């Protein structure tokens, strides 16, 4: 079996490199109220093409509620982007340079960055939200018989769902760099599916339906996936339960070390990050007035609590690394427990309630405090920043992002035009939620 790419390394080594990098920037690079890369960036000063825009979506659980906040936030963001950019067909992927997502967040990231036959992002954020909402069915969100739960248990119906949504598209069939982690049981280490690696070799190019199955495998399920040439095999467990339940730090590290695609990104001041967390665990958490649970937590409950703790630690470390720029260069959206009971009929209300929540955020030298803005207000403010970044990039004589292209494009059933071809925008060919429901 071929060895995994460089980015897929052991948990300890990966954590050490990430936090050593962030710590060094924090301790020795602070200047003028922001983490600065120092005097060695004249090109950045002269050719200001804006910040590299990163989207990171957590994946701490296997329930549809875990994807609801992210899907609702992205749908709201896309609506605001269309309004402020005065472009009715704008997509989330148009305003981000790299996306990372694990478990439920990985599915959303893949959907939004999948390239359609016309060269444009195939699915809108509203369609991704409809996919999540349509997966609930008529039963409770916690039901083990729902389609979303079957997806995360590696069932045949789950595989059929990914087949229907992604077809035979591979990592190369995305409009921008994509990172999706899982845990490889064969090597006992994280493995990151990366478009950058896929472009270099078929050995690291995987079908997107397999990527989603790998990052979603939970509850004891193991997804055995192979690269398109069959030379790399992964025995995958959920990326949400691994060290990268929150992939924000991995995405930042990828940008800072990938000089071929991001040549002008020298520090966190050159990056704009939107990190979206999931809702609090409904099975193990309770409100201040709710009775404490009396049953012993199951291994699944404990694994989820551990994953959520790791995600919070990553969020706090990244927020500290951004320092005073946190809130402008680093935006974190985190939801709590949604209103109960949660049924298909209450999806919209649950999404609205989580967007109206204020999350706890890390503040440099002040610990953690309740955010002054709601999740919805953060989304609206970020939309304005992303539109400004887009305009700044259009005026720059030197691009700060140069996405790798295939030397000899290998066309798949999902692609009829190379990634470098600009085509007219057309409507998405995604099946409607009604058609999904009819195929259960």
SS (H, E, C) 180-235: EEEEECCCCEEEEEEHHHHHHCHHHCCEHHHHHHHHHCCCCCCEEEECCCCCCEEE
Cα(258)–Cα(384) distance, rounded to whole angstroms? Answer: 27
List active site positions.
102
Top-confidence residue, 52 or 299 = 52
Measured in degrees and rounded to the nearest 5, phi and psi for residue 188 equal 55, 45
Instruction: Using the predicted structure, report yes or no on whether residue 54 has a pLDDT greater than 50.
Output: yes
387 by DSSP, 3-state: which?
A: helix
The mean per-residue pLDDT over the stretch 416-425 comes to: 37
pLDDT higher than threshold 50 for residue 140: no
The Cα 1–Cα 346 span in angstroms is 47
Average the pLDDT over 73-98 and give the result: 96
Provide mean pLDDT across the span 349-371: 80
Task: Measure the CA–CA gap between 123 and 329, rounded to whole angstroms.
Answer: 27
Ranges assigned E (strand) in 49-188: 52-57, 98-101, 178-184
Task: Give the pLDDT confidence score for residue 353 in this predicted structure.
Answer: 87
Across all residues in the chain, what is the average pLDDT? 75
Q: What is the pLDDT of residue 368?
A: 75
Query: What residues contact residue 28 under an 8 Å CB cut-off, 6+ apart?
Result: none
Give pLDDT, residue 370. 85
| Alpha carbon distance, N-terminus to C-terminus of the chain | 36
pLDDT digits (tens, 9 = 90+) for 276-328: 987 554 333 334 444 545 566 655 555 555 566 667 788 888 888 888 877 78
How many CB atoms sit inside 10 A of residue 205's CB? 23
The whole-number pLDDT of residue 334 equals 86
pLDDT at residue 55 greater than cutoff 50 = yes
Per the CB < 8 A criterion, the answer to whether 105 and 181 are in contact is: no
Q: Among 199, 235, 189, 194, which Cα is nearest to 214's?
A: 235
Q: Is the pLDDT of residue 273 over 50?
A: yes
What is the reported pLDDT for 281? 41
Report whether pLDDT(132) > 70.
yes
15-51, pLDDT tens digit by residue?
Answer: 556 556 555 555 444 444 343 444 444 444 445 668 9
Q: Is the pLDDT of residue 181 over 70?
A: yes
For the chain, percent of residues with pLDDT exceeding 70: 61
Cβ 367 vs Cβ 341: under 8 Å: no
Interacting residues of 304 by C-beta distance below 8 A, sequence separation 6+: 60, 61, 241, 281, 283, 284
Q: At a CB cut-off of 8 Å and minimum separation 6, what does 39 contact?
A: none
**Domain 52-144+170-182+242-281+300-395 CATH (choose: 3.60.150.10, 3.30.1490.20, 3.40.1090.10, 3.30.50.10):** 3.40.1090.10
Residue 142 confidence (pLDDT) above 70:
no
Give this prediction's pTM. Answer: 0.78
Q: How far apart are CA 42 and CA 65, in angstroms?
A: 46
- Nearest CA to 249 out of 18, 11, 16 is that of 18
64-78, 110-124, 240-254, 346-360 — most confident range: 110-124
pLDDT for the residue numbered 436: 52
Lowest mean pLDDT segment, chosen from 43-47, 103-107, 187-191: 43-47
Burial profile 399-409: b = 16 or more Cβ within 10 angstroms, e = fewer: ebbebbeeeee
């Amino acid at each position: 079996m071929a060895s995994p790419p460089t980015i897929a390394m052991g948990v300890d080594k990966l954590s050490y490199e990430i936090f050593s990098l962030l710590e060094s920037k924090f301790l020795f690079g602070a200047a003028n109220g922001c983490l600065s890369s120092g005097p060695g960036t004249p090109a950045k000063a002269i050719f200001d093409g804006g910040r590299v825009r990163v989207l990171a979506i957590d994946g701490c659980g296997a329930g549809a509620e875990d994807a609801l906040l992210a899907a609702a936030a992205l749908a709201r963001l896309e609506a605001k982007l269309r309004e402020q950019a005065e472009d009715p067909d704008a997509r989330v992927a148009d305003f981000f340079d790299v996306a990372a997502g694990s478990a439920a967040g990985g599915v959303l990231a893949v959907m939004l960055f999948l390239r359609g036959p016309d060269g444009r992002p195939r699915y809108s954020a509203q369609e991704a939200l409809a996919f999540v909402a349509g997966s609930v069915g008529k039963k409770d969100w916690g039901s083990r018989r729902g389609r979303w739960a079957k997806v995360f248990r590696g069932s045949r119906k789950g595989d059929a769902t990914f087949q229907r949504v992604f077809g035979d598209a591979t990592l190369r069939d995305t409009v921008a760099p994509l990172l999706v982690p899982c845990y490889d049981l064969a090597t006992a280490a994280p493995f990151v599916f990366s478009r950058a690696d896929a472009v270099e070799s078929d050995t690291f190019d995987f079908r997107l339906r397999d990527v989603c199955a790998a990052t979603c495998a939970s509850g004891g399920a193991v997804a055995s996936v192979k690269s398109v040439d069959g030379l790399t095999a992964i025995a995958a467990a959920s990326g949400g339960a691994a060290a990268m339940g929150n992939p924000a730090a991995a995405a930042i590290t990828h940008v800072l070390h990938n000089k071929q695609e991001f040549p002008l990104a020298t520090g966190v001041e050159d990056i704009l990050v939107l990190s979206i967390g999931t809702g609090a665990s409904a099975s193990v958490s309770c409100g201040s007035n709710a009775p404490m649970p009396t049953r012993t937590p199951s291994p699944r409950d404990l694994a989820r609590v551990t994953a959520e703790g790791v995600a919070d630690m990553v969020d706090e470390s990244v927020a500290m690394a951004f320092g005073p720029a946190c809130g402008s260069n680093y935006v974190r959206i985190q939801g709590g427990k949604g209103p109960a009971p949660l049924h298909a009929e209450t999806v919209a209300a649950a999404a609205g309630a989580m967007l109206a929540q204020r999350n706890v955020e890390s503040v440099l030298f002040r610990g953690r405090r309740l955010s002054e803005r709601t999740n919805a207000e953060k989304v609206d403010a970020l939309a304005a920043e992303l539109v400004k970044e887009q305009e700044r990039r259009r005026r720059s004589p030197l691009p700060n992002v140069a996405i790798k292209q295939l030397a000899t494009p290998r066309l798949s059933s999902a692609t009829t035009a190379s990634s470098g071809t600009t085509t007219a925008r057309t409507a998405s060919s995604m099946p409607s939620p009604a058609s999904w429901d009819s195929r259960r």
